[in-house]
Amino acid sequence: MKRWIRIFIITIFAFAAISLVLIQFTQTRRTVSINDNMFNIGVTNAMEAVIKEVSGTLLLPDGTPSPTFRYQGLDSLISQHLLTNGIDIRPVVGIYDEGQSSLLFASAAGQERNLEDSPYRYVFTPQNNAGSNQYYILLSFPSAQLFLQRNSNLLAYASLILITIIIVMFFVSIRALTVQRKLDTMKTEFINNMTHEIKTPLATVSLACEMLRDESISNDEESRRNFLAIINDENQRLRVLVDTILQSAKMSKKSFRINPKEVDVHTLIEKVTQSFRLTLSNRGGTLDTRLEAAPSIVVADEMHLTNLIFNLIDNGIKYSTGAPHITVATSVADGWFRLSVSDEGIGISKDDQKHVFEKFYRVSTGDIHNVKGFGIGLNYVAQVVKLHQGHISLESELGKGSTFTVALPTN
Ligand code: ADP
């Protein structure tokens, strides 16, 4: 996906998401106010029915409603009618005598002030109320706010959760698209590099075969051996290349197993270094060995160890701008077999050193882009080392060279 398309989609989505939040916010506020109105209508309806039932109550000569009046039953009666009107809260109930400016009754102690201030007051006329004394039934809903809020909050929370899910899913999709795009680019680069890396040795082998077909060359023992060595070296390069790609993919699986047996590392090094002889002589390079490990035997997977050594030497040569000077050294100490491959090449910066063992990581240095690779060689090397319970370290300085040291346990 192109960058501007991505920005466009994100902008549209952000706009839609913000609008959705605003709409939801206004909607919630409207719901709160509708809930408020419904609540008030419900209370009024309930109280009309209650008043109808209780207004026949006798008034005593002193002006107060008769003791037969079921004060205590009043709040249950009100609650019952409120429930019929869909309001599931028990209010505090009071009877107010306006003439005396005092409360005759309150269903809960300490609520007198709330009752007197309450907007829910309903005229209630006892049966023989001859005077001008007005009586009111007062209601106070200490938990009404909570009740209303709970209903509205539920709605607001549900919307908020849904909006959050949409936003999260959107970013997950964008991320998936970006990763997909990166993988596509990597795949294309990988195929390009692989084609290049395979084509070069194939072309060299084909040229060497062509030469060998020429009788004047094949009859000359020296030239014949030379071309056969070229074919052998390129064959070895192709084998390591294919192994690195295939094994690297297999190694990430948990079920992957190595095939360890006693191997003489010095013999492997001799074998591998042979295949670089021609390349090195073509580039005027050298390869020195300081094989000091005694004994030189380790228990390891021969094929993977061979590929490991090949990859490290190959990198040393690849990442040297002038004539490559490679040193391969071995030693044994403290139960560890150490194998190091040093070069005097371009070196690796401290920042890149942290990443070179990651799969597909390649240092992007403009002038060295002509060096083809997949960025899996060192990752494969690191995986081989790990499978052998060893460890790998890297010392490098930009412009001066690098030393990769592999340590394998000797027992
Ligand atoms: P590649 O196929 O690109 O060589 P590797 O996994 O072998 O992949 O190496 C990863 C990156 O580490 C390389 O692209 C290169 O930039 C850097 N690198 C590896 N070995 C050396 C070395 N000996 N000297 C300098 N840079 C190196």
pLDDT at 391 over 70: yes
| Mean pLDDT, residues 53-81 taken together | 71
- Quote the CA–CA distance of 311 and 282 in Å, as a whole number: 19
Closest CA to 37 of 77, 85, 89: 85
Ligand 1 centroid – CA 267 distance (Å): 25
| Token reading at 357 | 């063992």
- Quote the CA–CA distance of 375 and 249 in Å, as a whole number: 13
Per-residue pLDDT at 324: 96
Averaged pLDDT score across all residues of the chain? 86
Q: For residue 343, what pLDDT band results from cuts at 50, 70 and 90?
A: very high
| 58 touches 65 (CB < 8 A) | yes
| 270 touches 399 (CB < 8 A) | no
Per-residue pLDDT at 201: 87
- Quote the CA–CA distance of 338 and 318 in Å, as a whole number: 23
| Mean pLDDT, residues 273-289 taken together | 91
Residue 94: strand pairing partners: 106, 138
Is the alpha carbon torsion for 270, 210, 371, 193 positive or negative?
Answer: negative
Residue with CA closest to ligand 1 atom 14? 362
Contacting residues for 361 by C-beta, under 8 A, at least 6 apart: 355, 375, 378, 379
CA dihedral 81→84→85→88, nearest 10 degrees, is 90
Q: Which residue has the higher pLDDT, 150 or 91?
A: 91
User: Which residue out of 241, 243, 319 has the highest number of ligand 1 atoms within 8 Å of its CB and is therefore the one to mutate?
Assistant: 319
pLDDT at 200 over 80: yes
| 122 touches 174 (CB < 8 A) | no
Whether the CB of 390 sits within 6 Å of ligand 1: no
| Mean pLDDT, residues 60-78 taken together | 69
- Which segments of 55-70 does DSSP mark as H helices, in order? none
Whether the CB of 248 sits within 6 Å of ligand 1: no
| Token reading at 208 | 């060497």
| Mean pLDDT, residues 145-163 taken together | 71
- Quote the CA–CA distance of 137 and 48 in Å, as a whole number: 11
pLDDT at 131 over 50: yes
Whether the CB of 42 sits within 6 Å of ligand 1: no
Whether the CB of 356 sits within 6 Å of ligand 1: yes
| Mean pLDDT, residues 70-78 taken together | 76
| 196 touches 372 (CB < 8 A) | yes
pLDDT at 367 over 60: no
Closest CA to 61 of 123, 129, 124: 129
- Quote the CA–CA distance of 327 and 274 in Å, as a whole number: 14
| Token reading at 212 | 């060998």
Whether the CB of 376 sits within 6 Å of ligand 1: yes
Whether the CB of 363 sits within 6 Å of ligand 1: yes
HEC assignment per residue over 283-316? CCCEEEEEECCCCCEEEECHHHHHHHHHHHHHHH
In degrees, to the nearest 5, what angle opens at C-alpha 140 toward C-alphas 138 and 141?
150
Per-residue pLDDT at 401: 95
Within 10 angstroms of residue 120's Cβ, the number of other Cβ atoms is 18
Q: 100-109, 234-243, 269-278, 285-294: lowest mean pLDDT where?
A: 100-109
- Write the pLDDT tens digit of every residue in 168-188: 988 898 888 888 888 888 888
Per-residue pLDDT at 254: 80
3-state percent helix, strand, coil for the chain, nearest multiple of 5: 55, 15, 25
pLDDT at 261 over 80: yes
| 201 touches 223 (CB < 8 A) | no
Whether the CB of 310 sits within 6 Å of ligand 1: no
- Quote the CA–CA distance of 386 and 392 in Å, as a whole number: 9
Per-residue pLDDT at 46: 92
Tell me the Cα Rg of the chain: 44
Per-residue pLDDT at 368: 46
Whether the CB of 348 sits within 6 Å of ligand 1: yes
| Token reading at 42 | 């419900």
| Token reading at 68 | 């037969």
Q: What is the pTM of this model?
A: 0.63
Q: Between helices 377-387 and 221-251, what is the axis angle to 10°?
A: 70
Per-residue pLDDT at 320: 94
Q: For residue 339, what pLDDT band results from cuts at 50, 70 and 90?
A: very high
Ligand 1 centroid – CA 354 distance (Å): 12
Per-residue pLDDT at 1: 65
Q: For residue 273, what pLDDT band results from cuts at 50, 70 and 90?
A: very high
| Mean pLDDT, residues 219-227 taken together | 89
Residue % of the chain over a pLDDT of 90? 36
Q: Strand, coil or helix: what is 207?
A: helix
CA distances from 26 to 20, 39, 161, 336 (A): 10, 20, 17, 71
**Ligand 1, atom nearest to 376 Cα:** 6
